[in-house]
Amino acid sequence: MLRIEPSSLRGATTVPGDKSISHRAVMFSALAPGVHRVRGWLQAGDTLATLSVMQALGLRVSQEDGELRIESQGLRSPTWPRLDCRNSGTTMRLLSGLLAGAGIEAVLDGSDQLRRRPMRRVTEPLRRMGAQIEDTEGRAPLHIRPAALHGVEHHLPIASAQVKSALLLAGCFAEGETVVHEPARSRDHTERMLLAMGAPLRLSEDRRTCAIQRPATRLQSLDVMVPGDFSSAAFLIVAATLAPGSEVSLQQVNLNPTRIGLLHILQRMGASIEIADLAETSGGEPLGTLIVRPAALRATQVGGEEIPLAIDELPILALAATQAEGETVIRDAAELRVKETDRIAQVCDILRAFGAEVEELPDGMIIRGPRPLRGAHLSSRGDHRLGMLIAVAGLIARGETILEDEACIADSFPGFATTLARLGAKIG
């Protein structure tokens, strides 16, 4: 349980390593026999699920001086009875493509929460490639059996980095070319990492289409530095924007253009966010420092191609909108209903508990502001992003806010409360 009181945030900090890149760095090591080195790896609930599964599949992993050292001999054993993905949808979806391509028999399972999440969006296109996968009424457990795959041209109905990544991983082993078309750009960490490993990957000019052709195994070993996770930084960005008297410098944050939709939306709303110290990691990921100060916000419209670039940040964007002048409308975000929780319904409930005026839509919400917030006593519902949303709302709400079930925040941002306290938040 955390207690939060109104506070300003001041100072400089980093945020934990990027979760998406951390998942991929461990998983993609199986494609290239040899020694891989990963610095800045996120050690959190979801990424530890991936690490545990990949160790079960034969990767030898050690840590020294903050560096992950991975020894890989490729994927060899043909059968694994059950691999526990715990609570991580990324682990299950990407691994389904990797194992189906490698011809390994396994059952992918996880927590009750993960078993409720839809999996046919990835199992059906994999079956088109010849994969033998049985799901359970469209959900986990997934039973994968060995099968020879062939390349297929996929047209995804919804932009999804997880589905795209699963298909590209399967395509590394498939006969012929695997092509994935998306209606809008989604996170491109998979493409960047495969290219850094020397994979035969082609990208269209608008980067909505990617294609891979075998042989794409036995690639170069990874030696990467994982930048700070923008999705984690988003909560501190909004906190510093809304809390009077704040000034926060967030250092070495991933500024991949497919991740920073929230940054552009907030700047459009009038946020004061300065970008400095731009650089690039060895894996081709841009990073930099974000300096954030309070600003008066105005309402905006969010939808269409912006949604995949800000999908995980929409809950905290909704909080920012409660303090913006006018009516903010978020549409085309039905994907939020099939995350760890139904984030549309839950965000609306949470913001109303703080006194905000919010209208739930089938694919989003309407937020009318600005509205003064009052402290509330709420649970995270076991969803790490909802837990952080409640904590940040508590920094600007009148009176005390109590957050129950805060431990789940460690799924993506271990040390979140400690980071806030170090920046001056009254939290404990």
- List active site positions: 312
Residue 177 and residue 174: Cα distance in Å, rounded? Answer: 7
